A and B are shown apart, each in its own frame.
Chain A
Amino acid sequence: MSIQKREKKPGWKELPEGDLIIGGGTASGFKTGDWRSKRPIFLKDKCIHCLTCWVYCPDSAIIVQDGKVIGYDYDHCKGCGICYHECPVKGKAIRMISEKEAKAKNTVIAKAEGPKQP
C-alpha cells in the first residue's frame, strides 16, 4: 500500500532560498502509517483517559480532545506498541492486532457496508 501521493516537485526558481522550510510542523503532511505491521485498537469502554499513551507516543498519533482519548491517527501511527505497553489499565484499553488482520476486517466491513449488487 502506498499512502504517499506522487508530488510534483518545484524547480529551483520556485523554492525559498537557502534550504529553508517556511512554516512549522509540515511533517504532519507526511504519512508514515504504511510502515505499520501491527495496529493498536482503541477500547473506548476500558480507557480511563490517563493520557499515558498520549505522552509516550513517539509519533503524536494518539488523538486527544478536551483531555480525553478519542482514537488514533493511523496516518502517522507506526504500530510500535508503546501505547499498549504503557497502558496502566488492568487488561489494557488498547489491543494490538496485525495489520493483515485489520485489513481483512476492514474488507469484511467494507463489503458489508458497500453498495448493493444491482
Chain B
Amino acid sequence: MANLKDLSKQKALFTGGHRGCAGCGAAIVARQVLMAAGPNTVVANATGCLEVVSTIFPYTAWNIPFVHSAFENAAASISGVEALHKSWVRQGKYDKKVNFIAFGGDGGTYDIGLQSLSGAMERGHNILYVCYNNEAYMNTGVQRSGATPKGADTTTAPVGKIKKGKEQFRKDLTEIMAAHRIPYVAQSVVGNWRDLTSKVEKALAIEGPKFINVFQPCRLGWAYDPEMTCEIGRLSVETCVWPLYEVLNGQYKVTKPKEKKPVVEWIKLQGRFRHLLKPENKPLLDDIQAATDKNWEDLLRKESLTPQVKTPELKPS
C-alpha cells in the first residue's frame, strides 16, 4: 500500500486540461485508479462523460495507451487488447506485464454494456473493469439509468405533478458481477482514496476478471455545490446507501461505518432529491430508508455466511 508522498512522485497518468466539470468525480476516479495501477496500463473506455471530457482531439488527458470505440463495448474492447497480449506473450514476441483496465459509466455498464461486460467476465480475461457509477446518463443530460435510485429526479423520469422521479429501485450490479463467480468484485467510493487505491492494487494483483463499482457523486446530475463531491461520497457509505465491501473468491468483507446515519442526511444535500423533503413525500422517503436497511442487513448476512478464511497475502504488482 503506497502512501501519498510516494504516489505524488509518480508521473501524472491522468492529466489536467480535461473538460470535466469543476468538481468532477469521474476525473477523481480515473486519476486515483491510475495512481494505483501505474504506468504499465492500457485503458479502454466506454463512450460517456469520462471519455468525452478526456479525449477532445488533439488533447488527451491519458498519459498511457488508451482506446475508445463505442458505448456498449468497453469490456469487449479491453478483452481484445488482452487477447493480443496473451497471444504475443505465448509467441514469445512480448514480455512486459500489463494491466488491462476498462472504464464505463453506469449507463455503459448497468444498461447498454451489460452483455459485453458479462461476456468478458465469463470468458475469464485478465482485466479490471471499473464502473464510475454516477447513477444516471450524465453525458447526455441526466437521464435515468438502471443505476438511478428510486425517487431521484432525472430528465427522463422527472418529478412532475403526479410522478415523483424514478419509480423503481436501482438494480444491484455488484451482486450480478459476484454471481459470475469471478475472483474479485468490490464497491468503492469517491472520497475514500485509500479504499479505492487499495482495492485497485488488490484487484490488479489477481489473475483473471475483476470488477470494481465506484460510487461517484456528480455535481451536475445530483445538483450540489462542487466542493462537496468527496463529502457526499463518504456520506453515501455512512448512510449505507453505498456500502464498501469486497467479494474475494466468494468471501464477502464489508467495511462498516462507525455509525449508521439516516439516509435523509445524504438525500438532503442533493437537488435531485429536493422533493423528497416535502411532508407529503414522507412515505417515499421511508420506503427508501427501509430498502436501504434491508440491503444493508442482506449484505451483513452474506458476510456472516461466508466467514473469512485466511488467504495468502496478495502482493501488488
> Does A touch B (CB under 8 Å) in the complex?
yes
Pick the contact of B23 from A58, A66, A75 — CB < 8 Å? A58
User: Closest Cβ of chain B: how far from A99's Cβ, in Å?
Assistant: 12
Q: Which of B1-28 contact A (CB under 8 A)?
A: 4-5, 7-9, 12-25, 27-28
Interfacial chain B residues near A52, Cβ < 8 Å: 4
Docked-complex contact B4 and A27, CB < 8 angstroms: no
Q: Which of B59-67, B119-127, B137-145, B256-264 is found at the contact surface with chain A? A: B59-67
Docked-complex contact B57 and A55, CB < 8 angstroms: no
Pick the contact of A60 from B31, B58, B228, B229 — CB < 8 Å? B31
Docked-complex contact B18 and A82, CB < 8 angstroms: no
User: Closest Cβ of chain B: how far from A25's Cβ, in Å?
Assistant: 4
Pick the contact of A21 from B31, B35, B60 — CB < 8 Å? B60
The contact string, 1 if C-beta is below 8 Å from chain B, for chain A 1-33, is 000000000000000000101001111111110
Question: Does chain A have a CB within 8 A of B134?
Answer: no
User: Closest Cβ of chain B: how far from A16's Cβ, in Å?
Assistant: 9
Closest chain A residue to B26 by CB distance? A58
When A29-B17, A82-B23, A86-B230 are in contact, do A55 and B4 touch as well, CB less than 8 Å? yes
Question: Does chain A have a CB within 8 A of B167?
Answer: no
Interfacial chain A residues near B12, Cβ < 8 Å: 25, 28, 60
Docked-complex contact A78 and B22, CB < 8 angstroms: yes
Chain A contact-residue range equals: 35 or more
Closest chain A residue to B193 by CB distance? A55
A21 to B227 CA separation, bound complex (whole angstroms): 32
Question: Does chain B have a CB within 8 A of A101?
Answer: no
When A31-B17, A82-B227, A85-B228 are in contact, do A67 and B58 touch as well, CB less than 8 Å? no
Residues of chain B at interface, number, CB under 8 A: 46
Question: Does chain A have a CB within 8 A of B54?
Answer: yes
A26 to B226 CA separation, bound complex (whole angstroms): 25
Question: Does chain A have a CB within 8 A of B55?
Answer: yes
A57 to B190 CA separation, bound complex (whole angstroms): 11
User: Closest Cβ of chain A: how far from B69's Cβ, in Å?
Assistant: 10
A7 to B61 CA separation, bound complex (whole angstroms): 19
Question: Does chain A have a CB within 8 A of B231?
Answer: yes
Interfacial chain A residues near B4, Cβ < 8 Å: 50-52, 54-55
Interfacial chain A residues near B64, Cβ < 8 Å: 24
Interfacial chain B residues near A29, Cβ < 8 Å: 17, 59
A104 to B62 CA separation, bound complex (whole angstroms): 36
Residue ranges of A at the interface with B (Cβ–Cβ < 8 Å): 19, 21, 24-32, 35-36, 50-52, 54-56, 58-61, 64, 66-67, 73, 75-76, 78-82, 84-86
Of all A-B residue pairs in the complex, the 5 with the closest CB atoms, nearest first, are A81-B227, A76-B16, A27-B17, A80-B23, A24-B63
Can you name 17 extra interface pairs (CB under 8 A) apart from A27-B15, A78-B22? A21-B55, A24-B64, A25-B13, A25-B62, A27-B17, A27-B56, A27-B59, A29-B17, A31-B17, A50-B4, A55-B32, A55-B193, A58-B27, A58-B28, A82-B23, A82-B227, A82-B230
Could you pull out 28 A-B pairs where Cβ atoms are within 8 angstroms? A24-B64, A25-B60, A27-B18, A27-B54, A28-B16, A28-B61, A30-B17, A30-B56, A30-B59, A36-B22, A50-B4, A55-B4, A55-B7, A55-B35, A56-B191, A58-B20, A58-B229, A59-B20, A60-B15, A73-B16, A75-B16, A78-B21, A80-B219, A80-B226, A80-B227, A82-B227, A85-B227, A85-B230
